[in-house]
Structure 1
Amino acid sequence: MVMGLRRPSAARTPPLPGAEPAETAAGEARIGSWALALWLLLLTVAVVLLDTFTGNDLPLIPLMVVLPALASVFCTVRQTTGVAVWVTLVVVGSRIASTGAFWDVVFLIGFTALASALGVVACAARIRHATEVARLRSAAVALQRQILRPLPIVTRQVCAHGFYEPIEEDRFVGGDIYEVVQSPHGTRVIIGDVQGKGLPAIGTGFAALGAFREAAVREPELTAVADAVEDAVVRHNSFSAETGDAERFVTALLLGFDGGDRVKAVNCGHLLPWLLYDGAASAVTLHRTSVPLGMAELGGEARTAEWIDFPPGSALMVFTDGVTEARDVTGVFYPFDERLGRWAGLEPDEVLEALQADLQTFSGGVRRDDVAVLVLDRPPAAESASPCAEAARSDPTT
């Protein structure tokens, strides 16, 4: 066997984000308390000195009322309250010591107290809103990860391992999907990408996954499985239209493994799979690509399946466009073909580790789409100590 079958030491799906970390991050200060106190003291000294030099002709002390408003943008409620109290004391102290008219002094003190209180209220409202958004974001990502099974997944014909990294930024939550199902007709695999972002995309992805899980076991032909998922997406779009949401389509690649040296594929507008074999990586050519799921009426032709080679010792890599459309800080797309060629001679799990780390480095940690990658190869021997073998021994369906 040219490529080894050593598996990842653990599932690659990251732990679920909880509400408490999200709330903590939303309320964290962007500037330290000591740094804030130092800048506040220096600014106060500078304003007081300038106010002394300018005299009554151009009083500058009242300008300090803007500080609580600025603090409300960057600081915690406690820090903003401290700034508000400090500014009020400085203004009150400076005006009491002045010789201005009584009502002018009273008006300035009242205005300062009001502006300071509004700054604290604005800060509390900002943190409350940020906490709610962070909680919603965490719930959306947790929902995605509950829908998708953790990896690796093992069946009688396939060991699927990989990684999934959902984007966790409000409206950018995506709809990447994958599933591996053991059926009486072999192992069926789907990987797909729902058009658009946000919670509606997750709903469409869930509809597609539910239909695939049922049809993969029921339908003897892979094209019939694709048609069942197509119908589910169309029904979901009809429901979405009634509720005012936009209709969506799903690009997907369906694969069928029967334990032989070939794999049946139905491509519904998705990225081509890559074959890792004999120290080389090459894109698998599919000649019968059909329209994405949910758009069959526009295609005009029935979906067809074709066979692709899957020799012993090889692995198929499938992925979503979060990989190929990742960009660096200058906007350059990720050179997937070149990078994968460098790692083709590595073990499958090492390829995954290298790809995951390289994507993170290339994008500078800034992503705008989900990333899902699966590497599919034959399950190891029963005596192997790999995670896939352990899962096979514990799974009565294998």
Structure 2
Amino acid sequence: MVMGLRRPSASRGAPLPGADPSETAAGEARIGTLQLALSLLVLTAGVVLLDAFTGDGLPLIPLMIVLPALASVFCTVRQTTGVAVWVTLVVVGSQLASTGAFWDVFLLLGFTALACGLGVAACAARIRHATEVARLRSAAVALQRQILRPLPVLTRQVSAYGLYEPIEEDRFVGGDIYEVVQSPHGTRVIIGDVQGKGLPAIGVGFAALGAFREAAVRETDLTAVAGAVEDAVVRHNAFSAETGEADRFVTALLLGFDDGDRVRCVNCGHLPPLLLHDGTASTVTLHRTSVPLGMADLSDEPRTAEWLGLPPGGALMVYTDGVTEARDAAGAFYPLDERLQEWAADEPGEVLRALQADLQQFSGGVRRDDIAVLVLSRPAPARGSITGSTLK
């Protein structure tokens, strides 16, 4: 899923050039100034009428001192200051005609000024804290965006559309990883699932992605790319062990696309892809599956690659177990193969939108794991290209 920020307009009230949009949003009001003014006038009129009706036995106007405190939660500092000034004027005006004792009036006015000042100070503190949080979040988002590139990704050999949903909604990156790299040897693709969740899993994923991006361009053989990612995961585990963290592995599927009708595949303990072709979806049988990345020392067999067929007009769907292990209220797993038959003839974007909506409905909005899905197809011929004929 692609997410971005709008370019601010040059209209009045727009952020200044170079301003952080997150910081600007943190200081914005949740209620318009005109709406606030009208609400304040109506509320004041109501309180004054009730105060006149109840008489001196139950004065209500002094209760308006709570308004600046309420405004500090929803308004800007300027709006809260305006509310404080208005309340002060109303209370002072009501007490000028009062026949009460001097010290009672003096204490009420002093308490009103104190309450209004505290309301403005609380508003300023809230906005300052929100701005700091927004700045930190903006920096975190910018860093996480360097880990996973936005989708779709188009190369000379592949059109890659995708769906990505981390289990933690306040993050843009989870334990699932993907990457599409154009290299001198064709397009290389990886999709993987890091063991575990949270920041440690993100660290392992970042190490694997960095190694893949370099090796995908450098190595001529796809198994050598897998070996480079394996080494990166092992090195990261060794570094993490020094801080007391447990070793982690990565199940991954590496694909290599050239200009032919077949796809090179190295499976490192990952789920097999699905072939979408002629309106049907079928599981691609993989005959050579090795251990996950980071666990090569546990196996004596080297990683090997195999060829997969990709007929014209077909697409490969690769995904993580967050899709197949999604559950409904009764605990049943999501029937991906069965549901895909309904959308297999659609365009990749439509397939992903239907899958996302269906997963949401099936699980009742409860996610138990990160979700990553890529639909990989050959790019459409460029407009104006001619196949099988010659212009005369």
TM bin (shorter chain): 0.7 to 0.9
Task: Tell me, in whole angstroms, the C-alpha distance in 2 between the residues paired with 1:351 and 1:125.
Answer: 48
What's the CA shift for 1:212?
Answer: 1.2
Q: Give the match for residue 96 of structure 1.
A: 96
Whether the 8 Å contact between 1:173 and 1:197 is mirrored in structure 2 is: no
Tell me by how many angstroms 1:345 deviates: 1.7
Alignment match, 2:352 = 355
Q: Give the drift of 1:281.
A: 1.9
Determine the C-alpha separation between the residues in 2 that align with 1:236 and 1:139.
24
Q: Equivalent residue for 1:392?
A: none
> For residue 317 of structure 1, what is the amino acid of its counterpart?
M
Corresponding residue for residue 391 of structure 1: none
Which residue type is aligned with residue 377 of structure 2?
D
Distance 2:124 2:90 in 1: 23
| Counterpart secondary structure, 2:90 | helix
Q: Secondary structure at the match of 2:342?
A: helix
Q: Which has the higher contact order (CA 8 A, sep 6+)?
A: 1
Counterpart-to-counterpart distance in 2, 1:134 and 1:46: 38
Secondary structure of 1:85 counterpart: helix
Residues 221-249 of structure 1 deviation map (CA, whole Å, 9 limit, x = unaligned): 64553343233234335545656888765
- Counterpart in the other structure of 1:66: 66
Aligned alpha-carbon RMSD (Å) = 4.3
Larger radius of gyration: 2
Contact 1:140/1:173 (<8 A) preserved:
no
Name the aligned partner's letter for residue 385 of structure 1: R
Distance 2:83 2:119 in 1: 9
The answer as to whether partners of 2:274 and 2:318 remain within 8 angstroms in 1 is: yes
Cα distance, 1:41 vs structure 2? 2.1
- Which position in structure 2 is the counterpart of 1:232? 232
- Look up the match of 2:309: 310
Q: Distance in 2 between matches of 1:303 and 1:127?
A: 57
Give 1:191 deviation, angstroms.
1.8
Tell me how far apart the structure 1 counterparts of residues 76 and 198 of structure 2 sit (CA, whole Å): 31
Letter in 1 for 2:208: A
Separation in structure 2 between the aligned mates of residue 301 and residue 69 of structure 1, nearest angstrom: 69
**Contact between 1:137 and 1:170, CA under 8 Å: does it hold in 2?**
no
Cα distance in 2, alignment partners of residues 263 and 30 from structure 1? 54
Amino acid at match of 2:178: Y
CA drift at 1:192: 2.9
For the residues of structure 1 that align with 2:140 and 2:83, how far apart are their CA atoms? 36
Aligned to 2:155: 154
Higher helix share goes to which structure? 1
Letter in 1 for 2:252: A
Q: What is the TM-score normalised by the length of structure 2?
A: 0.72
CA contact (8 A) 2:158 2:257 kept: no
The 1-side partners of 2:184 and 2:320 are apart by 28
SS in 2 for 1:49: helix
Q: After TM superposition, give the deviation of residue 144 of structure 1 in Å.
A: 3.5
The answer on whether the counterparts of 1:174 and 1:201 sit within 8 Å (CA) in structure 2 is no
Report the secondary structure of 2:107's partner residue.
helix
Aligned partner of 2:173: which letter? G
Q: Supply the distance in 2 between the matched residues of 1:30 and 1:344 (Cα, whole angstroms).
A: 44
Pair 1:290–1:123, CA change in 2 (3 A): farther
**C-alpha deviation, 1:104, in angstroms:** 2.6
Q: State the Cα distance separating 1:207 from its structure 2 match.
A: 1.6
Aligned twin of 1:42: 42
> Following TM superposition, by how much is the alpha carbon of 1:352 offset from its aligned partner in structure 2, in angstroms?
1.2
Q: Which 10-residue stretch deviates more, 167-176 or 189-198?
A: 167-176
Distance in 1 between the 2:95 and 2:241 partners?
63
Alignment match, 1:115:
115
Cα separation, partners in 2 of 1:115 and 1:225, compared to 1, 3 Å: same
Q: Give the AA of the match of 1:95.
A: Q
Q: Which residue matches 1:106?
A: 106
1:159-214 alpha-carbon deviations (Å, 9 max, x no partner):
1321466779984232353223455765431123455356x665443321111123
User: Do the aligned partners of residues 197 and 171 (structure 1) sit closer, same or farther apart at CA in structure 2, a change above 3 Å counting?
Assistant: farther
Aligned counterpart, 2:140: 140
Q: Distance in 1 between matches of 2:327 and 2:38?
A: 39
1:15 CA displacement: 4.1
Q: What secondary structure, in the 3-state scheme, does the structure 2 residue paired with 1:317 have?
A: strand
SS of alignment partner, residue 342 of structure 1 = coil
Q: Percent identity?
A: 67
Structure 1 170/359 Cα, relative in aligned 2: closer, same or farther at 3 Å? Answer: closer
Residue 11 of structure 2 corresponds to: none
Match of 1:196? Answer: 197
Q: Which residue of 2 aligns with 1:7?
A: none
CA-to-aligned-CA distance 1:277-306 (integer Å, 9 cap, x gap): 122123435577666545667x77767556
SS in 1 for 2:348: helix
Q: 1:65 to 1:146 in 2, by over 3 A?
A: same
8 Å contact kept, 2:182–2:217: yes
CA shift at 1:316, angstroms? 0.7
Q: Give, in whole Å, the separation in 2 of the partners of 1:39 and 1:59.
A: 21
For residue 351 of structure 1, what is the amino acid of its counterpart?
A: P
Q: Is the 8 A contact 2:219 2:225 kept in 1?
A: yes
- Any conservation in 1 of the 2:276–2:282 contact (CA below 8 Å)? yes
